[in-house]
Structure 1
C-alpha cells in the first residue's frame, strides 16, 4: 500500500498545488482558462496521440470492453437520476439530476487517469483507458446533456441538446487525437522526428499542467459559489462515483468473463481503476453552461478528488 501511495501522492499533490495557488490568488482566475486551453488543445491531445500511436489498434477497438463500460455507464446514469431527482419538492429537477449523473459517471480519465494508470501499471494501461474516454465523450456526456433538457423542453428540445453535445464532441481535439493515433498505429505510420520531438515535449507537459489546472478549476468553482449546498445533495453522488461505479464495472466485467465474453482481465482491471477515479473537472464547466447548479457539481468533484487519494489507492492495492 505504501508503494502505491508513493506513486499516487505526486499526482494528488499537484492538484493541491493548483488549488492552493488559486485560493491564495497566486494564480489569477483570469489565467485559469488559458491553462485549460493549453491542456485541452495542445498538451493532452499530444499525449493521447502518442499513447494511441504506440498502442496496438486491437486494444483501441475492443468491442467487449466498450460493451461492458458502456452498459455500466448507462446503468449508473439511470440509477443516479432515480435516487437524486426530487420529484415531490422539485428541488432537484432533470437538469441538476442529469449533471449529477454525469459527474457520478464521468471519471477524470484524460487529465488524471491516463498518466496515473501508466505510472502504476505501465504503458499497456493506456489503451483501455483511452477506450473509456471515447465512450464518455461520445455517449455518456451527450446522453446526460440531452436528459438535462427535459425540465423545460419536450423530446425535440432534448434532441437539439444532444445534437449540440455531439457538435461539442466534434470540436473537442481529444477524440481526434485518439483517432489519429489509432490510424498511425493501424497503418504503421510515423511522423518526422522533429515533429515527434515537438509532440513529445507537449505530451510531457500534459500531466503536470493538467493536474495543476484541476486544482485551480476546483478552487475557482468553490470561490465563485456563495450559497451553501446541503450535504445530502452532493455527498451521496461523490460516494456513487468512488464506490458504486468501480464495483459495478467489476461485477459486470467479471460476470461477462464468466459468461464467455472475450474480455482481457488486465484491461478490465484498468477500466475498474478508471471508474475509481474522481469525477471529471470539466463537468463543472458544462453544468455552468447549461444552467445547472454549478455549486453542487463543484462540491461533488472536489469531495471525490479529496477522497479518491485514499479510495483510489485502496482500489489499486486490492486489484494489483
Structure 2
C-alpha cells in the first residue's frame, strides 16, 4: 500500500499546488482559462494521439471494454437521477449530478496516473472510456437536463449544442487520428514527432495543476457569490437569495462516484466474463480504476452553460478529488 501511495501522491500534490497557487493569488484567476486552453487544445490531444498511435488497433476497438463501461455508465446515470431528483433538485440539476457521478476525470488525470501505475497497456481501455463519456454519457445527461422544460425545443437545442461541443473538442479527433495511425502503422516525421512528444510530456503536470486551479476558482467564485447575495439581501433585494447546496445533496453523489461506480463496473465486468465475454484481467483492472477516479472538472463548465446548480457540481468535484486521495490507493490495493 505504501508503494501505491508513493506513486499517487505526486499526482495529488500537483492538484494541491494548483489549488494553493490560485487561492493564494500567485496564479491570477484570469490566467486559468489560458491553462485550460493549453491542456485541452495542445498538450492533452498530443498525449492521447501518442498513446493511441502506440497501441495495437484491436485494443482500441475492444468491444468488451466499451460494452461494460457503457452499461455501467448508463446505470450510474439512471440511478443517480432516480435517487437525487426531489423538490429541491429538478431535472436539470439531477442530470448534471448524474453526469458528475458517471464522468471520471479521465483525460486530465486518469491517463497519466493509470499509465504510471499499470504501464502503457492501460492507455487503450482508458481511451475507450473517454470516447464513450464524451460522446454518449455527456449527450444523454444534457438531453435529460431538458426534460423539465415546457416543450421539446429546449432538448433539441441542447442536443445541437452538445453535438457542436463534441465536434469542436480536439480530444475525440486526437483519439481518432491516433487509431488511424495505429491501424496504418504510419509514423510522424522526426521534427513533428518531437514537437508532439514535448507537448504530450507537458500534459500531465499542467493538467493536474490546472485541476487544482479550477477547483480553487470555483471556491473563490462561490464565496464571492454568497457575499454579494448577503449584501443584496441586507439592502432588501429579495430576488438575490443565498443559495448553497446542502451536504445532503452533495455527499450521496460523492459516494456514488467513488464507491458505487467502481464496484458496479467490477460487478458488470465479472458478470460479463462469466457469460463468456472476453475481457483481459489488465483491462478489467484499468476500467475499474478509471471509475474510481474523481469527477471530471469540465462538468462544472457544462453545468454553468446549461443553467444547472454549478455550485453543487463544483462541490461534488472538489470533494471527490479530496476523498480520492484516500479511496483511489485503496482501490488499487484491492485490485492488486
Instruction: Please tell me the TM-score bracket, short chain as reference.
Output: over 0.9
Alpha-carbon distance in 2 for matches of 1:156, 1:268? 40
Of 172, 175, 178, the residue aligned with 2:172 is 175
Structure number with bigger Rg: 2
Task: Tell me which of 246, 256, 260 is aligned to 2:262.
Answer: 246
TM-score of the two chains, using structure 2 as the length reference: 0.93
Find the partner of 2:249 among 233, 252, 255.
Answer: 233
- For residue 130 of structure 1, what is the aligned residue in structure 2? 127
1:156: how far off?
4.0
3-state SS of paired residue (2:69): helix
- Alignment match, 1:306: 322
- Written as runs of structure 1 = structure 2, the 5 A alignment for 1:35-50 is 35-50=35-50
What displacement does 1:155 show? 3.4
Distance 1:219 1:301 in 2: 11
- Output the CA distance in 1 between the equivalents of 2:204 and 2:252: 29
Distance 2:295 2:161 in 1: 22
Q: Partners of 1:4 and 1:129 in 2: how far apart?
A: 19
Q: Which residue of 2 aligns with 1:257?
A: 273
Cα deviation 1:112-136 (Å, max 9, x = unaligned): 0000000000000000000000000
Q: Which residue does 2:211 correspond to in 1?
A: 214
Q: Distance in 2 between matches of 1:259 and 1:277?
A: 27
Which string of whole-angstrom CA distances, capped at 9 and with x for unpartnered residues, describes residues 188-242 of structure 1?
0001011010001000000000000000000111111134321101111011000
Query: Using the alignment, how far apart are the partners of 1:76 and 1:278 within structure 2?
Result: 14
In 1: Cα distance, 2:118 partner to 2:256 partner: 25
Partner of 1:196: 193
Whole-angstrom CA distance in 1 between matches of 2:208 and 2:150: 37
SS of the aligned residue for 2:276 comes to coil
How does the TM-score come out when normalised to structure 1?
0.98
In structure 2, C-alpha distance between the alignment counterparts of 1:224 and 1:149, rounded to whole Å: 26
Query: 4+ runs of 1 displaced by more than 2 Å?
Result: 153-157, 226-229
- Is 1:8 aligned with 2:5? no
Gaps of 5+ in 1: none
Alpha-carbon distance in structure 1 between the residues aligned to 2:284 and 2:327: 18
CA distance in 2, matches of 1:55, 1:247: 27
C-alpha displacement of 1:295 = 0.6
1:76 equivalenced with 2:73 (yes/no): no
Name the CA distance, whole Å, in 1 between partners of 2:69 and 2:271.
13
Q: Residue in 2 aligned with 1:111?
A: 108
Number of residue equivalences: 317
Q: CA deviation at 1:158?
A: 1.6
Report deviation, 1:166: 1.5
Shift of 1:265: 1.8
Cα separation, 2, equivalents of 1:229 and 1:185: 46
RMSD of aligned residue pairs (Cα, Å):
0.8
Q: Which runs of 5+ in 2 are unaligned?
A: 227-242
